[in-house]
Chain A
Amino acid sequence: MTTMLNGRSDTGVKRRWRIPPPILRDAKAPGPEGLAVLEEFRSELGGVLWKSLRSVLLWAQARPSERKSLFAPDAAKRRALDLLALALEEDDVREPLEMLTEVLAIPARVDPELVGLACRRLAGWAEGADAPLTSLEFLQAAALACPANAHFALAVGRATRDLAQYSRSESWLQRSVGLARQAGDWETYIRAYLGHGKMMLRRGVLPAARRSYVKALRRSVRQGLQELEAMTLQDLFILEDKAGNVTRAVTYATRAVATFPTRHRNLPHLAHDIAVFWMQRGDVEHAFPVLRETVDRVQERYRGIAIGSLARAGGHLGDEAAFDWAVGELERWWDGPGIADAWAEVARGAVAMARFDDARDFAQRAETMARHRGESLVRFEAEALIQSIQAEQAALESRSSDRPSSAQPETDQLARELLKSLQAQPVNA
């Protein structure tokens, strides 16, 4: 599925954009198309979901001229009977599945947008049912049904990234960038670059991450998209922090705080990142109260990361209750983006409290998880951590270097501002 796009450059010269076909399958998961659905739903519902998915994929990948003769004449009737036999009560799964029978009934005339939306709805339902692979399959089916929809392509890119299928994710994010550029959908364009940057950062490819973030920043400034500009500045702050460019990191953080609209839902994330930045430089006194306020305010999928940071801060302050509470909470996340990093943070907290056996276990858990997910930066950090724990003296030295340092007056000011903004925000239910 290759899309050729025609665009016009600023100089008025007509250019053609070529987008290579995206990667449709995780090469490590061979076998019949959509097998993951049967793995996650071992029931007759799984059978119907699997068949519906395959019908959509077959239809979406056929040329429009071939679609008319793609299915048996009675296929729609059979599928409707299958659905009837299931007696589904949940609208979020019944309605889209009913819609998808249209693909079998009128394959030449069915509206691709409606097919795409039905698939997206099923993807959302599957995500809620803790079936990420099924969700991904339907997100991809939606993107294939509407091949010019940049937003749908972006969703596949993000989902594959979160499942650590990086090559596949990259191909979808690049596709999203190309489609969004063609349609002038700058919000999706920027989000696709942010998604790409985040993936590269997670893989430890900092120059590529920086390039993507800078492209996103330029475009958000040019289009006057303040919220996206603030989010990009936040990501650049994290990147420069990881790269060890402290001055640049502080500049981006300050710009991000100034750019975010008040009570923005991403503000707790920024506050978290700034607190971690302080903590890494030994200023745990300022970091801890900010982190405590962020844990219940960040979005659910980032909560694990915030808990990891809180554990580390608690460990450095010798607050065993806060540390143990955080470890107990983190146990609920068996896997996911950022969780390996969170366990590495917990290990650092344990080292600070001289609980070396626990620290070794936590660091090992972080290393295994990061290796499994291909998060090389976290993996190297966890390996280094394991080595430093093994040499007890080195660990103690590391602890002493992490002791609270004298805080700068401007840090006091920023910490007060962050706490005030956070306390003005509602706590998650």
Chain B
Amino acid sequence: MKTAPRPLIVLHPDRLLRDRLERISKTRFRLATVDEWDDLRNAVAEAPPAAVILVDPYHGQERSGGPSPHLYNVLKAFPSATVIAALDADPARYRDLWLLGDWGVAEILQTEEDVTPESIRRRLLTARAQHMRRLLTHDRSAPLTGRARSLIDAAVETVMSGGHPKDLAKTLGFSPSTLLRWCQRSQLPNPRRLLLWMRVLFASALLDDPGHTVFSVGLACGYSGDQALRRAIRSAVPYTPTQLRRMGAFETVSEAFFRELAELRDDRADKR
């Protein structure tokens, strides 16, 4: 499995910011700039679903009027898109900052403070896995212990960066055998299967987004194409991507995932 750099689509007039983004992108992101909201909308529709979008929320209008309604429309049209708003976060703009969060912006880049490569890189990375985490909390049929939740959170991060079980172990600071033991104690599938589930869940979240092909979803999830994605999905649920789309991909796959967790659950053990 290979990890392609994720597209970073930028609609921001600040040249300095764009230069900084260019410098930090390297192998993680592939930068593409657009000039208008319509261009952004088209770019998001055509981009692979793993794209990260960075915008000036006031683009094309006075700042006193609050964030642009165009941004609101983009967020509504592409609910799984990872959108970061980059603005001068003056405390006087507290209303706008809150509103952006309420609209569904994943992160805010404070252009007056987040100017170093390290801080920008961290803001971009924290935004990545949010959508997936939010979706995973919707199913409450299988309450997870704190330890299991920690492992799943780390697995989401690992999948987002195209990692393998050994990377998951490294993220948690465990040896692979300790990770395996922790998964068992937390009544989770083994690390390899857990990552497979996370990848298939990520793919299904993207499949629910209209306008994206199965091929592009496969690439976004680190597979070589649609065939590899189909095989991965088949090993988790007995459906094709097209069937999943019809049934509500994320809902179907997450139900199957929580069903597997329920099967693994040993109530007598009552482990924490």
Contacts and interface: CB of A to CB of B under 8 A. Distances in A.
A78 B112 contact: yes
Contact of A47 (B91, B112, B270): B91
A167 interface: yes
B147 A170 contact: yes
Given A18-B178, A71-B119, A170-B145, A208 B270 contact: yes
Contacts of A58: 119, 122
Contacts of A85: 91
Given A2-B173, A44-B92, A72-B116, A169 B136 contact: no
A168 B98 contact: no
A332 interface: no
Interface string A408-423: 0000000000000000
Interface in A233-248: none
A3 B174 CA distance: 10
A171 B146 contact: yes
A28 B94 contact: no
A244 B168 CA distance: 43
Interface stretch (B23-31, B37-45, B148-156, B255-263): B148-156
A21 interface: yes
Given A47-B90, A51-B110, A61-B122, A30 B144 contact: no
B89 A170 contact: no
Interface stretch (B126-134, B159-167, B215-223, B231-239): B126-134
A47 B81 CA distance: 26
Contact of B98 (A25, A38, A45, A78): A38
A20 B91 contact: no
Interface stretch (A62-70, A123-131, A298-306): A62-70
A54 interface: yes
A168 B147 contact: no
B98 A39 contact: yes
Nearest to B145: A170
A167 B267 CA distance: 18
Contact of A70 (B100, B118, B131, B272): B118
A77 to B, nearest CB: 11
B115 interface: yes
B112 A170 contact: no
A21 B154 contact: yes
Given A51-B110, A72-B112, A171 B150 contact: yes
A30 B106 contact: yes
Given A47-B90, A70-B119, A170-B272, A75 B133 contact: no
A42 B134 contact: no
Contact of B172 (A20, A75, A86, A211): A20
Contacts of B113: 51, 55, 71-72, 75, 78, 104
Nearest to A48: B91
B253 interface: no
Contact of A66 (B92, B118, B145): B118
B102 interface: yes
B106 A31 contact: yes
Interface of B: 89-95, 97-98, 100-102, 104-108, 110, 112-113, 115-119, 122, 126, 130-131, 133-134, 136-137, 143-151, 153-154, 171-174, 178, 182, 270, 272
27 contacts: A3-B173, A21-B172, A23-B150, A25-B133, A27-B134, A27-B137, A27-B149, A28-B134, A30-B130, A30-B134, A31-B102, A31-B130, A35-B98, A38-B94, A41-B94, A43-B94, A61-B122, A66-B118, A70-B118, A72-B113, A72-B115, A168-B146, A169-B146, A171-B147, A205-B270, A208-B270, A208-B272
Given A33-B107, A58-B122, 9 more contacts: A20-B172, A38-B98, A42-B98, A48-B91, A51-B91, A55-B113, A66-B118, A72-B115, A167-B143
Interface of A: 2-4, 18, 20-23, 25, 27-28, 30-33, 35, 38-39, 41-48, 50-51, 54-55, 58, 61-62, 66, 69-72, 75, 78, 82, 85-86, 104, 166-174, 196, 200, 205, 207-208, 211, 374
